[in-house]
Each structure stands twice: as structure tokens, then as C-alpha cells.
Amino acid sequence: MSATTTPSTSTGEPHRPVELHDAVIRFAGDSGDGMQLTGDRFTTEAGLAGNDLVTFPDYPAEIRAPAGTQAGVSSFQLHFSDHDIHTAGDAPDVLVAMNPAALLKHIGALKPGGTVIVNVDEFDERALQKAGAMTNPLEDGSLVDFRVQEVGLTSLTLRTLEAEIADGDMTRKEAERCKNMLALGLVSWMFSRPMDATEEWLREKFAKRPVLAEANVKVLRSGRNYGETTEAFAFTYEVPAAQLPPGRYRTISGNQALAYGLVAAAQRAGLPLFAGAYPITPASDILHELAKLKHFDVTTFQAEDEIAAIASAIGAAFGGSLAVTASSGPGIALKTEAIGLAAIYELPLVVVDVQRGGPSTGLPTKTEQSDLLQAVVGRNGEAPVPVVAVKSPGDAFDAAIEACRIALTYRTPVMLLSDGYTANSAEPWRIPDVDGLPDLSTAFAFATERNDADRFLPYLRDPGTLARPWAVPGTPGLEHRLGGLEKAPDTGAISYDGANHHAQTVLRHERITRIGAQLPPLDVDDPTGDADVLVVGWGSTDGPIRAAVHTLRGNGRRVAHVQLTHLAPIHPDLEEVMRRHRVVICPENNMGQLALLLRARTLIDVKAYDRVTGAPFLSSELVDVIERLGGDALEGER
């Protein structure tokens, strides 16, 4: 948080906010304290003010986590700025802690000199005990390095709603639940954010209970009024609007963008969209979003299990739909045999994997990139499928369209990798011109007539793409059968011949390899063109790597960056790009899976940096890593 102007403190002069380039705020409290909602509303306020922003929601896996304990703490971090940013911020400038557990869990992340707003009403002996505190941090001197604002969020909320409680319009417990709006009002005042949109949203959300809607609005305003009347806060702050490219924007999460991309792809292909899925964190919101879009010829099916979900999607693909199934790591493991079935059927299918910490149930609400090898080679037999990765929330829209394009063009299942961080975080997204999106209707054509004299050959291949015909059941004369047994050429008849099996295996690999030949050149970020250090990333590491590389260049270091979207097949230009650099560094939120693939493919000594703590990389962390692994090559010395 860096200031560009200093407010006047002279007597008699009006108060002026301190102007900042950016700020990072973290809201933290019990799962029932509404921290995700509070953060989401402040995000909307920042977006309406024209800021660039990135968010990082973090919450426990338990549906009813133990209240008052550190295990039950839910948090929401927001980084907003007057310039282009790529991460949710390494450390918050302001921490709002609704109870002792939230304070103890997150105080270590707060910047030295940062502001912590604590709900002092919750710091009684029982709450401290539940949080695991040996002493009261508000009294033991442990917060001496921070600016501590003790605010009675609960008592102020109850005082604001005294009349509603007395009249029986709401219970005391219902009134207490409004305290997150008091925190939001206070922080909105602190950062000069408008609240009109939040007030309108509250009235819409609680339209069936107008008393509850007005109570929340009243408490929201009370939080702002408290900030204006108390003398505890020396300054307020303002982050001007960012200079974003012209266009119409909205704030979007990764799961939302991915769902919209799937719908856009189906519309541009002229196909109905079918989504079969079983609910699983953190992928469930994709199904929820698609269920809202049925007016775009979208059919959603919540299956009884993961196998039924992908089986239904394969059936929909056979029937002529653009078919999708979405899950996370454990669910993908259950779908594996069916993915192999779709691979030998050679039907267009998009399999979305929103990765989370593993193995097994693992860390359901924490992010990780540990499913890469599962996506690339995690099937029985030789069953190659293309793999596409999402870089950011907004990029999920484009990645979904690209996955659909490949599936339709090459008649293949495609793995589309997102992760928990990308899925739940949000950023401003410029709404595209629909007419400017790729025309996917040219990527395929349904077979309408026999392709070999008086018969139909379901595995007679296109000479360019090696894709087989896509014949919709019921088309006269194109009756055919599909199965999981090995195919004879052209006819698709069952074949147990060893030489044919080898030939068909080679052909299936070649079909996937040909995808790489039509990819555009890699976008290598190297402004001077003379960097000796290359950072290779994939997926959600894009933001932290970009921020780290920008910092290093500001310090005079020479470093290039390439972020891979296509992970299978590996981009054909990548090896040549890597060999132009003395040092190649690959940071991943796994134990070096992409680094392993790159070493095997190129025999280049890729330097891996791995971390699997359930959280995304910090840009400052990667600055240190690149400095250490890059060494004197960062100076351009040979």
C-alpha cells in the first residue's frame, strides 16, 4: 500500500483521503460470519469504482466447521489497484478479524505497520480458549507492530437494531448476523468506496423479508457513520480507477467464466450443450452456473455418481451434443476408465478438472496443480488426450472455447485443467463481442451420407486431422456400433490382431500430435529479447510469475516468461524456446510434474521449484526463487 498524496492535518482544513496506488484487504471470521459475502460485496464496490482487482477466497472444508476455532476460520482477500495487477497480493494492508481465532490465524500475514480491525466484543475468556490463545493478544503486546483498531462490531450492530429487536421484527441472533455489514460499511468508508450498489443488492436479496433487508442497510450505514464520527482512524484512503482497455467489464470468477465459455462454444458451434456432473468441491459451481443458462439450449444433469456423470456425457456426445463433465481430482480418478472409453470411441467431450489438494479426499477447499500427470498419462493402455490449462479467472472463458474447438475438430476427449484458486478467485473481465469469437461450426460436420459406396465406415479418417466421421444416431444409412474393444481400420469392427493394435495405437498418438502443428507461435514475454533465464509456468502460476518477473526487470534483471496453455501435446516451439536460454525455471504447485515432462521431452536440465501448501505462490517468494536459481545468468553474464 503506497501513498501518492498526503492528507492535510492542519486545523480547519477539510479532510482529504490519502491516495494509494493499491491496497490489500483481508476479511476473516467464522464460516457463519459472512466473510465471503462481505469480500464479494467489497469486490463489487471496487469493480464499480473502476479498479483492477484480484481476489482470493479461502474457507474450511467442513460444512459446519467448529465455530470460534482456527480450523473454522473463513477468509477473503482482495487486492485492488489503479494499475494492472496479477495476484491477490502477498500480504494484507488491512485485516478485519471478527474473533480471536481469525486474528491468531491471520495476523502473521499482515504487513508490518498494517491495520487490524478487531471485533473486541468477541475477545472474552471462552472465545480466547476456543481459539487456542494462551493470553489475550489485545493485551499481551504481541500486536505492537500493527495499528490496532478495537471496534465493538457486535455491540454496535445490536445497538443499531435495538428498535427492530424490541418490536419483534427480528431476533437478537438474527441481528448479530448483520455485523459483517457493519464491518463492510466501516471498511467502505475507510477506502472511500460507494455503497449504493450494496444497498440495492441487499434489498433484492432479501426482497421477501423487507425488514431484514432494511436492517442490513441500516447496519451498513452505521458502519460508515462510525468511521466518520470516531477519532480512532487518522486517515481514510482512496485508490483511483485503473486505466483498463476500453470496453464493458464485469467481475467474474474462474468457474463462472469457464461455464460461460462452454456455453459460448456451444452457441458458436450451433450445438446443444450437455453437462453431466456430480457435485464436488471446487467444481460444483460450474454445474450451478450452467443450470442458470438453460435458455441457451443447455441441459444439465446432476448424476448419482462420477461414473454416471461422464457416461451420460459420452452418450450425449454420441447423440450430437457438445458434451461436458466437470469434477476435481478424486472424481477424475473415478472417471478415468470412461475417459479411455471416450478416447477409443473418438467422440468430442470436454472433461473439466478443477484441481485441489490431494491425494484421496485431501484438501477439498485448497488449491493445487497435482493432477497434471493424471490428465496427461493417467489412463490404462495408450490413451492420449489433449490437455488445456486455465491461466486466470478471465482466461477460463477462452480456455473453455479452445478445449471445445480441439474436441470438435479432432473428435477427442479434452482435459481442461483449472484449480481451486482460479475457480474461486475473481478479476475484472472485459465482455467480448460474441461475433468476434471463433466460429466453431467450421470445426466439424455431421456425416449425412455413406462414405464408401454402399456402406458407412465409422472410422474412415479425415486425412488432415485424422478425425473420424461424427454420425448422429438415426441418420438413415449411417447405422453403426461403438465399443471399447480395439478397432479394425475404417470399419471399426473388433480386431484382436497385434499388428493392427500397434498401428491403431500409433494412429491415436499421431492424431493428438497433429493438434500441436496448428497451434499459433508461443507468446514469450521477453521485452529485450536477450534474457538468459526463462521461467516456464502453466495454469494459475501465471499471475505470481508475471508479478515476480516484472519486479525483477525493475531491478535490472533479464528474465523471460512463457505460460503454457497446451500441455498435451507440448507446444512444438517450446524446446527451441527453452534452448535459447541458459537457465530454465519451472515453479509449480505440485512436486515437479511439468518439470518432469519437460526434462523427458527435451533432456534440458529444468530447475524445478515446488510447493504444495494449499495456497498459490506469492510474487515475492518467486522473486527470491528466480534470483537464487537464475544466479548470474540474470545479469546476462556468460
Amino acid 15: pLDDT: 65
Over residues 296-323, mean pLDDT: 98
Distance from C-alpha of 433 to C-alpha of 430, rounded to nearest angstrom: 9
Instruction: Give the separation between CA 126 and CA 116, rounded to whole angstroms.
Output: 22
Fold held by 18-238:
Pyruvate-ferredoxin Oxidoreductase; domain 3 (3.40.920)
Domain with CATH 3.40.50.920 in the chain: 533-635
Backbone angles phi, psi at 550, to 5 degrees: -60, -45
Quick one: pLDDT at residue 4? 53
Residue partners of 418: CB distance under 8 A and separation at least 6: 254, 255, 258, 352, 353, 354, 355, 389, 390, 396, 399, 539, 540
Contacts 24+ apart (CB under 8 A), 547-556: 547/85, 547/86, 547/87, 547/619, 547/622, 548/619, 548/620, 548/621, 548/622, 548/623, 548/625, 548/626, 549/525, 549/626, 551/619, 551/620, 551/623, 552/623, 552/626, 552/627, 552/634, 553/527
> Which residues, 6 or more positions from 162, have their beta carbon under 8 angstroms from its beta carbon?
none
Q: Would you call 461 exposed, middle or buried from its count of C-beta atoms within 10 A (0-12, 13-18, 19+)?
A: middle
- Phi, psi (deg, nearest 5) at residue 402: -65, -40
Encode pLDDT of 52-61 as tens digits. 999 999 989 8
Evaluate whether 446 touches 320 at the Cβ level (below 8 Å): yes
Q: pLDDT band for 6, please (50, 70, 90 cuts).
A: very low
H-helix or E-strand spanning residue 53 = strand 52-58
Mean pLDDT, to the nearest integer, of 407-411? 98
Beta-carbon count within 10 A of 219 CB:
27
With b for 16 or more beta-carbon neighbours within 10 A and e for fewer, the 60-93 pattern comes to: beeeebebbbbebbbbbbbbbbbeebbbbbbbbb
**C-alpha–C-alpha distance, residues 394 and 390, integer Å:** 9
Checking if the pLDDT of 11 tops 50, the result is no
Q: Is the pLDDT of residue 212 over 50?
A: yes
Q: What is the DSSP string of 70-126?
A: GGGEEEEEEEEESS---SS-SS-SEEEESSHHHHHHHGGGSPTT-EEEEEGGG-SHH
Is 239 exposed, middle or buried (CB count within 10 Å of its CB: 0-12, 13-18, 19+)?
Answer: buried
DSSP for residue 328:
-
The H or E element containing residue 324 is strand 322-327
Confidence label for 65 from pLDDT (cuts 50, 70 and 90): confident
Section 566-579 average pLDDT: 97
Higher pLDDT, 16 or 88: 88
Name the average pLDDT for the chain.
95
The number of C-alpha atoms within 13 Å of 473 and in the hemisphere containing its C-beta is 8
Q: CATH 3.40.50.970 in the chain, residues? A: 249-442
The number of helix segments (H) and strand segments (E) in the chain equals 21, 21
Q: How many residues comprise the chain?
A: 638
Q: Which fold has domain 533-635?
A: Rossmann fold (3.40.50)
Q: Tell me the pLDDT tens digit for each residue of 547-560.
A: 999 999 999 999 99
Three-state SS string over 166-223 comes to HCCCCCHHHHHCCHHHHHHHHHHHHCCCCCHHHHHHHHHHCCCCHHHHHHHHHHHHHH
Could you give the residue ranges of the DSSP H alpha helices within 251-328? 254-269, 284-291, 306-318
Mean pLDDT, residues 512-525 taken together: 96
pLDDT digits (tens, 9 = 90+) for 328-380: 999 999 999 999 999 999 999 999 999 999 999 999 999 999 999 999 999 99
- N- to C-terminal Cα separation, the chain: 38
pTM of the model: 0.95
Architecture of domain 249-442 in CATH?
Answer: 3-Layer(aba) Sandwich (3.40)
More confident residue, 64 or 308: 308
Q: Say how far apart CA 571 and CA 602 lie, in whole Å.
A: 12
Longest CA span, the chain? 96
Helix (H) or strand (E) holding 428: strand 426-430
Rounded to an integer, the average pLDDT of 31-45 is 95
**Residue 9 pLDDT > 80:** no
Residue 570 has pLDDT above 60, yes or no: yes
Q: Tell me where in the chain the CATH 3.40.920.10 domain(s) lie.
A: 18-238
Predicted confidence at residue 2, as pLDDT, reads 60
Q: How does pLDDT run across 468-498, given as a tens digit for each residue?
A: 999 999 999 999 989 999 999 999 999 999 9
Query: CA nearest 183: which of 41, 1, 68?
Result: 41
